[in-house]
Amino acid sequence: MSRADELGRLEQEVGVLIRRIKRVIGERARAVHPDLQPASYLMLTFLATDGPQRSSVMSERFNVDKGAISRQVQHLCDLGLLVRAPDPVDGRAMLISATPDAVRRLDAVDHDRRRWLEEQLVDWSESDLREFVAGLARYNRALD
């Protein structure tokens, strides 16, 4: 098979991966809260991992206009998954952060997903897994 053919296969497999990721994000969002939208799930996981942020940081990080971020933040606050607090560095600004309940729910979903992934990849050796992760990381770095 030629390099061009292999690049075509790569694009096909990445397309399958993207569709699977979209589905999984939707499933994870609903597992955290039945009314949580996938885009908001990504925002919530970012805040749970990286800590409190200003809305402007979220807008830049997700390349979404501030109005859309504001609506998502309000929805997540209404669901009890985010809270707002004054920025201690600049009291005029607000920081948004994941609630302890949101972090607990996200951790439970992560645990369940990893257990499922372990079941699906039970026949992969540690070496297989390590090689795949290394190749995927190399692919991602090449495209940055």
Asked if residue 91 has pLDDT above 90, the reply is no
Percent of the chain predicted with pLDDT > 90? 94
Helices (H), 63-125: 66-78, 100-120
For the chain, give the mean pLDDT. 96
Number of structural domains in the chain: 1
Which structural domain range is residue 12 located in? Answer: 3-143
- Alpha carbons 144 and 56: distance in angstroms, whole number: 23
- Alpha carbons 72 and 123: distance in angstroms, whole number: 40
End-to-end Cα separation, the chain, in angstroms:
27
Stretch 132-144: mean pLDDT: 96
CATH at residue 99: 1.10.10.10
- Alpha carbons 47 and 103: distance in angstroms, whole number: 9
